[in-house]
Structure 1
Amino acid sequence: MTANLRHGLSLGIERTGQQFYVTLKAVGKLTHDDYSKMTPMLDAALGAVSSPSVNMLIDAAELDGWELRAAWDDFKLGLKHGNHFEKVAIVGNKRWQDLVAKLGSWFIAGEARAFTNMTDALAWLADSEARG
């Protein structure tokens, strides 16, 4: 029955001025197959960005977790692209998202933070743009 539950990753790229935002929405329990389909899209999107300053907005409000192999895929993705990100905002309401943000900070060049609402996350991401 679990095989029929909705899960996966949606990826988007947005731009405000010179600031790029990678948007990622995670739903359900992520699988290795989810990452194998999403990773080439993220690779292509980040490969086309000439500026090293990219912010990421992760909507994890509907995320239930990862299969073990998918967690490894996520780790490898962070190692591969971590230097592209100035800020990573993780939006959700689960306690483990704070831990993920803290761990994520080890693998990105910039900063990662967890938020309970989208408005605060977007304000934090836009803050560097207002100063820059």
Structure 2
Amino acid sequence: MSALHGLTIEIDRDRNDFFMEIKAIGTLTHADYEKITPIIDEALEGVTVPIVNVYIDGTEFDGWQLQAAWDDLKIGLKHGKKFDKVALYGNQHWQEVMSKIGSWFVSGEVRYFDDPLEALAWLRG
């Protein structure tokens, strides 16, 4: 397990359209989600019908501690209907499998990419 871990997030908003860029590093913990969940909740609060596109850079992502996996699932259950497209840029087969499982929890489309430019082009297309 990598000692370095965490989530960084950048959110751009244009009326009801949101673009979230998330980078996951190392093995994520409950504490990582305690920092990021309120940011997501606050960004989407009060928006009746948000359209959210998400770019996730998972190239330095190793996985989750058990509690953090539950935290990730809770975000999907709470906000999943708001996600239009989720692009996961990664470099490991298990990440591609996880993107397929993630699609069960969001109403939009989830796709795995091994090229960041293809991922961004798909999100913007």
Q: TM-score normalized by structure 1? A: 0.87
Ranges in structure 2 where 5+ consecutive residues have no aligned partner: none
- CA radius of gyration, larger in: 1
2:69 alignment partner in structure 1: 71
2:9 alignment partner in structure 1: 11
Mapped pair 1:27 → 2:25: yes
Match of 1:93 among 87, 91, 94: 91
Question: Is the CA contact (8 Å cut-off) linking 1:55 and 1:86 kept in structure 2?
Answer: yes
RMSD: 1.8
Shift of 1:104: 1.0
Question: Is the CA contact (8 Å cut-off) linking 1:88 and 1:113 kept in structure 2?
Answer: yes
Ranges in structure 1 where 5+ consecutive residues have no aligned partner: 128-132
Q: TM-score normalized by structure 2? A: 0.91
CA 1:8–1:89 in structure 2 vs 1: closer, same or farther (change >3 Å)? same
Q: Percent identity?
A: 51
Shift of 1:53: 1.4
1:82 alignment partner in structure 2: 80
Question: Is the CA contact (8 Å cut-off) linking 1:11 and 1:22 kept in structure 2?
Answer: yes
Question: Is the CA contact (8 Å cut-off) linking 1:52 and 1:83 kept in structure 2?
Answer: no
- Bigger drift between 105-114 and 15-24 goes to 15-24
Shift of 1:52: 2.5
Q: Which amino acid aligns with 1:11?
A: I
2:121 alignment partner in structure 1: 123
Mapped pair 1:57 → 2:55: yes
Count residues with an aligned counterpart: 125
